[in-house]
Structure 1
Amino acid sequence: MVVGSLYLPKDNPNKPLGEDAHFTHELYQTIGVADGVGGWVKQGIDAGIYARELMKNSFIATYDESMKGHVNPKRVLEEAYKNTNSKGSSTACIITLNSVKNTIVAANVGDSGFFLIRKGKIIYKSPIQQRGFGCPYQLGNCNSDNPSVAQEMELNVEKDDILMVGTDGMLDNIFESEIEEIVLRAIDQNLKAEELASQIGNIALYNSFDRFADTPFAKASKERHIGGKIDDITVIVAYIQ
């Protein structure tokens, strides 16, 4: 995997780092995203701290897992969760490439997720886990979920496939058809992974500020919300080579 990423925290002077977090570990072919659940702010808790600690511990656990053989994303999540002590909660999605089997293996909790793209077409979208609109499954220490709820997936991959991972700030603000158009142009222009991540993230950002945009979030809300959703936006793009 050749990896590029972009993080665009929403403009909040009280939380300049936002509530998303991510990591990339190219040596061990593993990437992950997390999105701290904003509802904690009512209790004076910055869930971004939990998300960042979870991803830092996931990075460490990826190394530990690699020493045992192939990285297992669910075990990475379990180890990271066990060692994360901050208050708050977070969604999480961790994906690794098994280059022996030519598969990607993923563990996902909540409404972050990923697309697998082949020849410019999305051939797989990870399902989201939520108890209701705006209430995703979430890892945390205070009456939240634990990694046992993680949905595990294993998918065959081919050379030149593109893996695109994002928090809901991306997924809520850009339709799959838009992503496919951008990816096809990126393939034509030989864009690097980081350049493609930047294009996707910035279009999601543009849509998030459009009060009248047709967005996945507006569609999912069943007319309770119109336009884009202002949120932290994380995009990771991995080219399978």
Structure 2
Amino acid sequence: MSFRFPALLGGSFIAAGAAQFFYQRSINSVDDNVDTALPDTSKLIPGTSLETFAQCLGKKDLRKGVWKTKSFDSSPLCGEDSFFILDDLRTFGVADGVGGWSRHGVNPKDFSESLMVETKKQIATKQRAAINSTGSAADLETAVTAAHAATMKKVAAGSSTVCVASLDKNTHELHVANLGDSGLVVVREGHVVFTAKESTHGWNFPKQIGVNRGAIHGDSIHDGTHEVVKVFKGDHLVTGSDGMLDNLEPRQIARIVKDTLAKKGPLADGALVAKSAARNVLVAVCQSALNESEGKWDQGGVGGKPDDITVLVTRVL
């Protein structure tokens, strides 16, 4: 992503430029993106585990049309985006490196990749025993904060947005911590039942976590949002960087998931459906991103914004 990023002067945080108006992209208005006629959950089985599939594409490959024949499921191939998946611990995350650092000779990928690697490590090593014994959700803010500290020792400069989620199998609640403009959509029976709230300083200026010459740079994960939503078996969670959310509305995402389910049929393998849905969302994002003639994104809408794209589709079991 190429948005503005914070600057450090005398150890204090200042914005790199005053926001001319607050970010008004429609996804910020959660009520507008959640369907009013929601499915009855009284007969649904609460979720206790997750299975996640990833698809991603760097902006350079987007413009080359690579997405028409292939896409990637490995974080190093996602441009400035990065992600991690821990299905056994019911946890996953996405980070989007701030492209503006490239103007200062910094590879934006370095920070986002390290942050995801370290977050995964924190959860897998320090919390695995506790999570396995209790079934509780990961302490997301603690994990990201520790990962940030570890990343600061390895990366000289950089910043990223971050969205991480973890399922508590005892309460069947999905915990979502979101700093910036990546996000998550819960789809149930073709309906949008939840969209994660963004946290921004202004238009094209999301909150972000970072480092600059050994000092904390930008915001803290605690400056973002932490939301909890109960999920059920058969739900699909669609998580993505702003490359996805700037180009597709939540209801468009839900429709793609619904159509994929319908095409595969009720007896189709659930993992295959989720993997196909991730691919189908990615293709739709690419098509929308390259439709720059409409210019919707820079007018507060969606579409027409080429960017790195990461899509995670998680099925709730």
Q: Do they fold alike, i.e. is TM over 0.5?
A: yes
d(CA) in 2 for partners of 1:17 and 1:199?
17
Distance 1:18 1:7, change over 3 A: same
- Give the structure 2 partner of residue 173 of structure 1: 247
Residue 279 of structure 2 is aligned with which of 193, 198, 202? 198
Following superposition, which runs of at least 4 residues in structure 1 exceed 6 angstroms of deviation?
A: none
d(CA) in 2 for partners of 1:61 and 1:36?
20
- Give the structure 1 partner of residue 97 of structure 2: 36
The farther-off stretch of 131-140 and 15-24 is 15-24
Counterpart of 2:146 in structure 1: which amino acid? E
Q: Which has the larger radius of gyration?
A: 2
- 2:313 aligned with 1:237: yes
Tell me the percent identity.
28
d(CA) in 2 for partners of 1:39 and 1:126?
25
Which runs of 5 or more residues in structure 2 are unaligned? 1-49, 62-75
Is this contact kept in 2: 1:212–1:227, CA < 8 A?
Answer: no
Is this contact kept in 1: 2:180–2:200, CA < 8 A?
Answer: yes
Residue 158 of structure 2 is aligned with which of 82, 88, 91? 88
Secondary structure at the aligned position of 2:233 is classed as coil
Residue 55 of structure 1 is aligned with which of 107, 116, 120? 116
d(CA) in 2 for partners of 1:116 and 1:154?
12
Is this contact kept in 1: 2:186–2:237, CA < 8 A?
Answer: yes
- Give the structure 2 partner of residue 11 of structure 1: 60
Counterpart of 1:220 in structure 2: which amino acid? G
Secondary structure at the aligned position of 1:212 is classed as coil
The farther-off stretch of 151-160 and 175-184 is 175-184
d(CA) in 2 for partners of 1:30 and 1:120?
23
Secondary structure at the aligned position of 1:82 is classed as helix
Q: CA deviation at 1:162?
A: 0.8
d(CA) in 2 for partners of 1:218 and 1:80?
33
Which runs of 5 or more residues in structure 1 are unaligned? none
Q: CA deviation at 1:212?
A: 2.4
- Give the structure 2 partner of residue 45 of structure 1: 106
d(CA) in 1 for partners of 2:206 and 2:298?
17
- Name the Cα RMSD after superposition: 2.0
d(CA) in 2 for partners of 1:235 and 1:213?
23
d(CA) in 2 for partners of 1:28 and 1:227?
34
d(CA) in 1 for partners of 2:303 and 2:240?
19
Task: State the aligned residue count.
Answer: 235
Is this contact kept in 1: 2:246–2:303, CA < 8 A?
Answer: no
Residue 207 of structure 2 is aligned with which of 134, 137, 162? 137
- Give the structure 1 partner of residue 38 of structure 2: none
d(CA) in 1 for partners of 2:312 and 2:88?
16
Residue 74 of structure 1 is aligned with which of 141, 149, 155? 141
Counterpart of 2:243 in structure 1: which amino acid? G
The farther-off stretch of 148-157 and 63-72 is 63-72
